[in-house]
Amino acid sequence: MLAAMCTAPVRPSALDTTPMRDRGDACPGALRLHTADDGALARVRVPGGILSAAQARALARAARRLGDGELHLTSRGNVQLRGLRADCGRELAELLDAAGLLPSHRHERVRNVVASPLAGLDGYGHGDLRPWLRELDGMLCASETAHALSGRFLFALDDGRGDTAGLGADVTLTARGDGTAALRIGPRSSCVLQLPSSDAPLAALRTAEAFLRTPEARRGELWRIAELPGGAEELAQEVVRGLGAAAVLRSDSAVGASEDGASGGGASGGPPPGVVPGPRGDAALSVL
């Protein structure tokens, strides 16, 4: 298993304006290539930055056969292929399909999920996030409406150490030590939802679907929750109503989304390169 993520801080300027859209979302994907100076560019979504060894080899083959021979990592842990031939779209899609990297063609650009890279691997945080990740990705790909999300819309899964909670995601799920989860809607909201951990992936999906029902999103004027002119509080109330008794809306300070004892590398630093001992006698390797 490979996991990749950059923990670069969010620039305030990216959150403080409500842009006027004069064109559609041009964010590239694996099926919709972007024309660059060095040829076509494909962006392959890798939820959680997690690849199997077979998938990594498939991407390497695609880069050598169709592009510049290199795999380029994005700040969200996705993979870009550059220098592609303009007519390689069908062949690339077949390669990615065979490797299990395109579970839904319709949703391929919206599978934007970052996760704490060492969750469950180093003994810090509140456990393994892969069950959340698999469930959320499956729900996204099965949703009748989520395909309409912008390619910029971001989900973040944090195991409690705070390494993805500060990335300015549209929907952030943070694991807590008491078996619950905290769901933050938008990067600036002062309110979070507290809910059972088992309900967290569904709540994240329902939040994204509720955002798509806002008038501004339906008109294509907004791509991110931070752009909502009235803030995220009304959206949070709608999500709570939809989830019923499963979620409680609380103030940020009351929930305490990041707890003492869950540290082990935060957004400002991350793990140092080298061998990272695991809690069961195993080990992970951190590289830069």
Q: Which pLDDT tens digits describe the chain residue by residue (288 residues)?
A: 444 444 444 444 444 455 555 556 778 999 999 999 999 999 999 999 999 999 999 999 999 999 999 999 999 999 999 999 999 999 999 999 999 999 999 999 999 999 999 999 998 999 999 999 999 999 999 999 999 999 999 999 999 999 999 999 999 999 999 999 999 999 877 778 999 999 999 999 999 999 999 999 999 999 999 999 988 989 999 999 998 877 788 766 555 544 444 555 544 456 788 999 988 888 888 887
Identify the residue whose tokens are 């993805």.
164
Q: Where are the domains of the chain?
A: 1-13+26-102, 109-266
CATH T-level fold of 109-266: Sulfite Reductase Hemoprotein; domain 1 (3.30.413)
Please name the CATH architecture into which domain 1-13+26-102 falls: 2-Layer Sandwich (3.30)
Edge to edge, the sheet with strand 39-44 lists: 34-36, 39-44, 79-84, 71-73
As a dihedral over the C-alpha atoms of residue 60, residue 65, residue 68, residue 73, rounded to 10 degrees, the angle is -30
Q: Which residues of 237-267 are buried (b: 16+ CB within 10 A; e: fewer)?
A: ebbbeebeeebebeeeeebebbbeebebbbb
Q: Each residue of 33-66: pLDDT tens digit? A: 999 999 999 999 999 999 999 999 999 999 999 9
Q: Each residue of 73-117: pLDDT tens digit? A: 999 999 999 999 999 999 999 999 999 999 999 999 999 999 999
Give the pairing of strands 274-277 and 155-158.
Answer: unpaired
- In angstroms, rounded to a whole number, what is the distance separating the alpha carbons of residues 224 and 221? 10
- In angstroms, rounded to a whole number, what is the distance separating the alpha carbons of residues 198 and 103? 23
151 contacts: CB under 8 Å, gap ≥ 6: 25, 27, 28, 29, 109, 110, 112
H-helix segments, the chain: 53-66, 89-98, 130-142, 200-212, 215-218, 233-243, 252-255
- In angstroms, rounded to a whole number, what is the distance separating the alpha carbons of residues 168 and 186? 7
SS3 90: helix
Q: C-alpha angle 114/120/125, rounded to 5°?
A: 80
Encoded amino acid at 141, one letter:
C
